[in-house]
Amino acid sequence: MRRQAGPRPLRAADLSQVRSVFTDVDGTLTTGHRLRSQTIRAIERLSEAGLKVVLVSGRPAGWGEAWARTLPVDGVIVENGGLFFVRGAHGALRRVYAEAPAERAANRKRLRAEVSRVLKQVPGARLSSDSVYTEVDLAIDYNEEARLGDAAAGRIEALLHARGVTAVRSSVHVNCWLGRFDKLTTSRRYAREAWGERLAPEDGRSVYAGDSFNDAPMFQAFALSVGVANVRAVLDRIDAPPAFVTRAAEGRGFEELARAILAQRGR
């Protein structure tokens, strides 16, 4: 999909046919690492209008289960596509993994060893405090409780890539995993299993909102990809920029997007 050099303002987007909203969490729904009540209300308003909202995050499975049980969303994809949570028969919550159990176990064992080697090579590098709740990937903290900076995060990524590990930054962590999945491949699988339909991100019925490097596969695939304004900090380094950008940053940017979708659908 060819894109112009930079994202256009959100007001240029045709959101009138949107039926589902896929969104990153950190730096996209959160503001200063917190979920504002206004942002949760924006999700509620989308849901009340009949839109399906799916969270797509690098955060651990433990966070994903809590979100799926407590937030007004249709489903949750976590660990950069490593697994997702979906409602089954009678509303029971079900988790679905991107990999078979044997492959997942083997990859997990090797991933721990590779990450351990890399942590020893970068001063101050350590696993994120919430990595204990992961099942598939691991996260190295560079911008949440740690303050390693972009140069160290880039070195961590390069060292992991050299060892055959997929590594990509969110706004807070360097997420790393082994396996043939990412946010996009698992979003496609989620749509098949949860809705019984093929996700066609180019057709204008789905939006993706994000803010960082690990959102690039989604930005590239979705015709209606939207970066909240803080994405501008990485536009010169991200593999694929969003098609549109909000005026406001972080959660306020998502609220802006929700208002725009609801306004256009009401025309």
Q: Are residues 14 and 94 in the same domain?
A: yes
Residue 5, pLDDT > 70, answer: no
- Number of neighbours of residue 208 by Cβ within 10 angstroms: 30
Asked if residue 128 is part of any domain, the answer here is yes
Give the pLDDT confidence of 177-203 residue by residue, as tens digits.
999 999 999 999 999 999 999 999 999
Give the pLDDT confidence of 130-157 residue by residue, as tens digits.
999 999 999 999 999 999 999 999 999 9
Domain-ending residue, one of 177, 211, 229: 177
Q: Are residues 78 and 208 in the same domain?
A: yes
Q: What does the pLDDT read at residue 91?
A: 80
User: Residue 139 pairs with which residues in a beta bridge?
Assistant: 175
Q: Are residues 147 and 75 in the same domain?
A: no
| Model pTM score | 0.94
Q: Are residues 94 and 186 in the same domain?
A: yes
In angstroms, rounded to a whole number, what is the distance separating the alpha carbons of residues 58 and 82? 9
User: Residue 28 pairs with which residues in a beta bridge?
Assistant: none
Residues 263, 41 contacting (CB under 8 angstroms):
no
Asked if residue 260 is part of any domain, the answer here is yes
Q: pLDDT band at 52, cuts 50/70/90?
A: very high
> What CATH number is attached to the domain comprising 108?
3.90.1070.10
Q: Are residues 64 and 18 in the same domain?
A: yes
Q: Are residues 48 and 82 in the same domain?
A: yes
Residues 208, 201 contacting (CB under 8 angstroms):
yes
Residue 84, pLDDT > 60, answer: yes
Residue 56, pLDDT > 90, answer: yes
In percent, how much of the chain has pLDDT > 90? 94
Residue type, 264: Q
Query: CA distances (Å), 23 to each of 135, 231, 249, in order?
Result: 21, 14, 14
Residues 177, 162 contacting (CB under 8 angstroms):
no
Q: What does the pLDDT read at residue 89?
A: 74
> 100-106: long-range contacts (C-beta < 8 A, 24 or more apart)?
103/179, 104/135, 104/136, 104/179
Tell me how many domains the chain contains: 2
Domain region containing 255: 10-98+182-265
Look at residue 84 and give its three-state secondary structure: strand
Closest among 143, 264, 266, 254 to 208, alpha carbons compared: 254
> What CATH number is attached to the domain comprising 17?
3.40.50.1000
Asked if residue 1 is part of any domain, the answer here is no
Q: Are residues 39 and 116 in the same domain?
A: no
Specify the pairing of strand 166-169 against strand 173-177: antiparallel
Q: What does the pLDDT read at residue 1?
A: 44
Q: What does the pLDDT read at residue 209?
A: 98
Q: Is the C-alpha dihedral spanning 75, 59, 215, 164 positive or negative?
A: negative
Q: pLDDT band at 6, cuts 50/70/90?
A: confident
Tokens of 177: 């995993």
